[in-house]
Structures are given as C-alpha cells and as structure tokens.
Amino acid sequence: MIYGRRRGRKLRPAQAGLMATLLPRLHVAVPDSGTLDPFSLFPSQIRRFALEIGFGAGEHLAAQAASHRDTGFIGVEIFETGIAKLLTAIAAQDLANIRILIDDARLLLAALPDRCLDAAYILFPDPWPKLRHRKRRIVSPATLAQLARAMRDGAELRLASDDPDYQSAMLGDVTAASEWEWLARRADDWRTRPADWPATRYEHKALAAGRTPIYLRFKRRSR
C-alpha cells in the first residue's frame, strides 16, 4: 500500500491503472514542519482554495471542481475504492484542479497557512456512535478552531450528517464558537440541500434507509 491508504473492494483494472499513474501526480505530501503553500499544488490560474474532508466516492468533490475550475480543491480520504472512483471522474472530466491527501485531515489543517481557504466541506463523516469512540469525530472544537484559522473571512463551511446525535453535536460545537455565523434563517435552510450542493452516494443511501440528513451552512465571521 502506498501512502498508507486503507483497502476496500478489489479495484477494476482501469482503476488500478489510475491509482498507479494519476494518483502520484495529484497526491499531497504534508510537510513534517512548516507551512504548506496551496499555490504550490495547483496551476497558476488557481486563485481560490477549498477543502473537502472525507470525500467518499468523490461525487460532490468532482462536481464542485467541474463547476469551479478556478478553485483548487484538496480532497482528503483514506479508502482506496473511494479514491479510485474520484480518479476516474478526474480523468473523465479532465479536472486539473483537484489534489488528494491520503492521511489525517488534521495534519493538513495544521500545515495550512492562515486565511487561505474559501470553502470547506465535511459531508456525512463517520459518526463514531459508541461513546468511547466519539473523540475520533472529525467535527470537534479543535478541528473547528483550525478551520477558523485557515479560512478567510466570509468563507463558507458546510457540514452534513444523518446521525441525530452527531447532528446535535455538530450544531452545538459550531454555534458555541464565536468565529462562525449560522446562515439558516428558517427550517428549510437546514432541512433541504441547496441547489449548488451536489448530492453524494452516501446521502442517497441514508435517505433510502429512512434517515433524515441535515445540511448546515456557516460563514467565517470577520476577524
């Protein structure tokens, strides 16, 4: 295994080929010390940056990258099958504005410079439902503090979950932090996915299973 990724289902030959040829060109290496300059990762025409933590099969990330080709997207995922599916979309749509980290997103957040991100997405992360495992949840006060540091004033943070306990924890953690403004003004604002928020495979599975997702949008307040 390269980059310490976790294996899932057996890859198709075409996917395995992309993992061997395309992934090394897109892979992000977090420095052991110092700051990671996002401009160093992308072509010169990129002027905005966004981050998706846990992109799953990459449907949302690929759709956002296709719609915003002047934005550089860093996607974080550790599962091989999801990475392979995203690589397939990158190759099919000629997406030059995606880079991939196969590691703990918190390492990347710690290395990013202040005020560099224009958007961040954490969609349907693992809820770690057992009490003893909740400390592993990616949406936490510590992660939110790092995001608040790395995001520009006015940048948007989007969170989604179909787990009721995690939904409450997400909302409580973000609203308790002074750096964030919740953009919801009515119930439909968090009950309904916005039109510019592409759906994911996991969301479809959650809905088919009768679970109710929420869609949370927050703005980074001015410093």
Catalytic entry in 37, 94, 103, 126: 126
Question: How many C-alpha atoms does 214 have within 13 Å on its Cβ side?
Answer: 15
Closest CA to 138 of 54, 199, 198, 82: 54
Q: How far apart are CA 21 and CA 30, in angstroms?
A: 20
Distances (CA, A) of 195 to 41, 64, 156, 177, 198: 29, 12, 15, 27, 7
Q: What is the b/e burial string over 196-223, where b = at least 16 CB atoms within 10 angstroms of the residue's CB?
A: ebbebebbeebeeeeeebbbbbbbbeee
126 is annotated as an active-site residue: yes
Just list the catalytic residues: 126
